[in-house]
């Protein structure tokens, strides 16, 4: 390919966009590999690890779909408020078969957050577990239900056997590829979550091309730690189904359990956001588990430190891929190849996936030269239909030419590899100069005693905004601000060096492991 001079990437036609649906990919998998294990409950107790073949998963999903079709009309929204239990994944396929729209909900959410999602989506029904890690979901729903006039069906997962009793007397009408399959709410790192409406075609094809780049093969065993209430969890689960592989579904990430599952299930693939991978390699069991069957690791969701990539690859003798995406794009935008140079995997977000067109633009939407920072715009099959019932917000996000304004600040090199510079809303203007948090975070993260860092701007009388670094140290470490300041000054221009250092025991993160910087800003404002 001729080196780029402008930050514009044409759509790669090497993989076609297929007429796929979530219902259809499970039927195909059951026809191709009916006896292969499709789903394993990755619970801590080995004796409780139920297993479903693809034929059994299809049969169960069809039975549940028939039950759902007697309760709901096609196109209605139905929420699933639960951790990653096997029944939740069955519902991913069953709702598609019943032509319903799935609304995944994080079981850690409280009253106001849950009310917002159920109101915004207009959910007609909800599946829930009664309790999750001390959170009384049933009690929350009882309190907020008077504010949910559209909600008419509440189904506890304890009643699951009732849904699977009767077989469908005849096949249900299938969904169309361009029907909305799911409404997944954004992570809310910068404000109130919005419901991104994603089609069957978009979700399945995004998972398919990402799975091809990751190298998923029939018979692979994948320990899946990304929760199903997140777009990444849904997308990876579709990848696994499309790849005719086995999904070891982990209910709640725990690093010791992940290591045990990698060993005992002879897993070939796994996934984790940086905070998960850090927790796994810092776990006492890390050195004594036999994970020799592991072939590749996928990461993303946040900037992945170069040292972590190199450590994972060398210690586990695996290849890795870095995935970059957002809910509005089905969780997949760009990705590194397994055989990319280590420097590219450590420092970039890879190239755009096939059939996705991209450009990096300035404030006037003009394409910038290669290497300059700008906002990433993408266009292609993976872009959401829009935010559910939010036309103004949709118009602000997707322009009239179909470009999704991602809000991510990036650079593109002459090969099309992207590098993150931060979120557009996170950019700090200090003394009239633009400072990009990701650049500073990358440097500070190389300090051996720093486990996690988030850089934000704080209102300042002198500078307009002052650069502040919030730091979580590695377990058992001690470090004073002066030492970190000296470390940063050796590696950063003076205006990029944080004016203040704040040490925390843990970062506020959402379900996908992303730091919620707006909560850090609120905390700093309260502490002033």
Q: What pLDDT does residue 60 have?
A: 96
Provide the CATH number for the domain around residue 448: 3.30.300.30
The Cα angle at residue 213 between residues 211 and 214, in degrees rounded to 5:
60
pTM: 0.84
Kindly give the parts of the chain with pLDDT less than 70.
1, 168, 187-191, 275, 301-307, 431-434, 461-462, 464, 510-513, 528
For the chain, what is the domain count? 2
- The residue count for the chain: 528
Residue 418 inside a domain? The answer is: no
Per-residue pLDDT at 458: 84
In tens, the pLDDT along 286-309 reads 989 999 999 999 987 655 666 677
370 and 435: one domain? no
List the end-to-end C-alpha distance of the chain, in Å, as a whole number: 53
pLDDT at site 509: 78
- Find out whether 259 and 52 touch, Cβ atoms under 8 Å: no
Q: Are residues 489 and 367 in the same domain?
A: no
Strand pairing of 195-199 and 221-224? unpaired
Tell me, yes or no, whether 436 and 389 share the same domain: no
Residues 389 and 452 in one domain: no
Read off the tokens for 498. 């944080």
Give, for 277, the enclosing helix (H) or strand (E).
Answer: helix 274-281
In a domain, 422, yes or no: no
Name the pairing type of β-strands 8-9 and 356-361. antiparallel
**pLDDT value for 523:** 81
How, if at all, do strands 77-81 and 101-105 pair? parallel
Alpha-helical runs (H) found in 98-149: 111-121, 137-144
- Give 80-118 pLDDT, tens digit per residue: 999 999 999 999 999 999 999 999 999 988 888 899 999
Give the model's pLDDT for residue 508.
86
Q: 361 and 459 share a domain?
A: no
Question: Which among 442, 440, 437, 418 is positioned nearest to 426, based on CA atoms?
Answer: 437
- Is 4 within 8 Å of 416 (Cβ atoms)? yes
User: Which of residues 349, 381, 412 is at a domain's end?
Assistant: 412
Provide the b/e sequence for 288-306 (b: ≥16 CB within 10 Å). Answer: ebebeebbbbbbbbbbbbb
**Sheet of 77-81, strand order:** 153-156, 125-128, 77-81, 101-105, 180-185, 195-199, 386-387
């Amino acid at each position: 390919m001729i080196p780029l001079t402008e930050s514009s990437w044409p759509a790669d036609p090497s993989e076609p966009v297929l007429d796929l649906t979530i219902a259809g990919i499970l039927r195909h998998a059951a026809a191709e590999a009916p006896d292969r294990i499709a789903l394993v409950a990755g619970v801590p107790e080995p004796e409780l690890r139920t297993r479903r073949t693809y034929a059994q998963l299809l049969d169960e999903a069809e039975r549940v779909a028939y039950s759902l079709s007697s309760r709901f009309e096609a196109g209605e929204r139905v929420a699933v408020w639960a951790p990653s239990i096997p029944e939740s994944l069955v519902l991913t396929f069953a709702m598609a078969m019943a032509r319903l729209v799935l609304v995944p909900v994080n079981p850690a959410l409280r009253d106001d957050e849950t009310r917002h999602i159920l109101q915004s989506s207009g959910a007609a029904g909800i599946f829930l577990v009664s309790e999750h890690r001390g959170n009384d979901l049933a009690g929350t729903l009882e309190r907020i239900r008077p504010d949910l006039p559209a909600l008419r069906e509440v189904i506890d997962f304890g009643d699951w056997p009732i849904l699977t009793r009767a077989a469908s007397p005849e096949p249900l009408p299938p969904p169309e590829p361009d029907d909305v399959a799911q409404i997944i709410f954004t992570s809310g790192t910068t404000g109130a979550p919005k419901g991104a409406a994603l089609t069957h075609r978009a979700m399945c094809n995004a998972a398919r091309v990402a799975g091809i780049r990751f190298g998923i093969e029939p018979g692979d065993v994948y320990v899946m730690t990304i929760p199903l209430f997140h777009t990444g969890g849904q997308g990876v689960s579709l990848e696994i189904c499309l790849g005719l592989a086995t999904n070891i579904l982990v209910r709640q990430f725990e690093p010791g359990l992940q290591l045990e599952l990698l060993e005992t299930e002879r897993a070939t693939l796994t996934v984790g956001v940086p905070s998960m991978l850090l927790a796994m390699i810092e776990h006492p069991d890390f050195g004594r588990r036999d994970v020799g069957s592991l072939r590749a690791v996928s990461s993303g969701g946040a900037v992945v430190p170069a040292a972590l990539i190199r450590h994972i690859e060398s210690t586990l003798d695996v290849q890795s891929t870095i995935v970059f995406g957002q809910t509005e794009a089905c969780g997949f935008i760009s990705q590194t190849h397994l055989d990319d140079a280590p420097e590219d995997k450590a420092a970039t977000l890879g190239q755009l996936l096939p059939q996705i067109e991209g450009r990096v633009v300035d404030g006037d939407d003009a394409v910038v030269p290669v290497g300059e920072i700008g906002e990433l715009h993408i266009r292609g099959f993976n872009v959401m239909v829009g935010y559910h019932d939010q036309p103004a917000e949709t118009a602000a996000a997707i322009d009239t030419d179909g470009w999704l304004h991602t809000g991510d600040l990036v650079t593109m090199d002459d090969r099309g590899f992207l590098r993150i510079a931060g979120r557009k809303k996170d950019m700090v203007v200090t003394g009239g100069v633009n400072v990009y948090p990701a650049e500073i975070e990358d440097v500070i993260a190389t300090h051996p005693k720093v486990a996690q860092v988030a850089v934000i701007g704080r209102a300042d009388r002198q500078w307009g905004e002052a650069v502040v670094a919030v730091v979580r140290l590695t377990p058992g470490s001690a470090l004073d601000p002066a030492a970190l300041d000296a470390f940063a000054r050796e590696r950063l221009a003076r205006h990029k060096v944080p004016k203040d250092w704040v040490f925390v025991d843990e970062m506020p993160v959402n379900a996908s492991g992303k730091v919620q910087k707006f909560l850090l800003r609120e905390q700093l404002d309260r502490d002033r």
